[in-house]
Amino acid sequence: MRVLGIDCGTEYTGYGVVELCHDGTLVCCTCGAIKLSARDPMPARLATIFDRLAAIIEEHHPDNVAIEDVFYALNVKSALKLGQVRGVAMLAASSAGLDVSEYAPLSIKSAVVGYGKAEKQQVQHMVTRLLNLAEPPESADAADALAIAICHLHTAATLERQRAVGK
């Protein structure tokens, strides 16, 4: 199974494609961050995100897409902008016929680090180890996106085992 994880943001949107091999190993196919200019109008930034995610989907052919669920935000304006980015990410996935799964930040950190309130550096360290990378991803946004993909793969594997036991 191959999953595209997306860490939505209005300045940087992280992405990471992770594949779960038949032997249970996790492999990073690609990762990075889509840098957006704060000077560009929001519609142009959203178009950039859509186009880049669509290109990543076309190149890497993920089976599913996973994104971080909405979290509590004090700044309403920032929350609305983040919601727009999340909507565009979901649109890019659904336009390609892919299902989108959403995970709470606590679930993502628990799946990768084992602790729901882990720091960003801990997530980056564990992503590097789980994917056997020579060095950590360049940006925290890319590491977070990889963590989201890993969370989905772990969740899907657990659900598959539960279905097998239930039969």
- Among candidate residues 7, 40, 63, 119, the one labeled active-site is 7
What is the rounded distance in angstroms from the CA atom of residue 142 to the CA atom of residue 69? Answer: 17
74: tokens are 């004090």
What is the rounded distance in angstroms from the CA atom of residue 29 to the CA atom of residue 148? Answer: 14
- Residue 68 among the catalytic residues: yes
- Among candidate residues 19, 23, 51, 141, the one labeled active-site is 141
What's the chain's Rg over C-alpha atoms? 15
- Among candidate residues 68, 69, 102, 160, the one labeled active-site is 68
- Residue 7 among the catalytic residues: yes
- Residue 59 among the catalytic residues: no
What is the rounded distance in angstroms from the CA atom of residue 90 to the CA atom of residue 29? Answer: 21
Q: Catalytic site residues?
A: 7, 68, 141
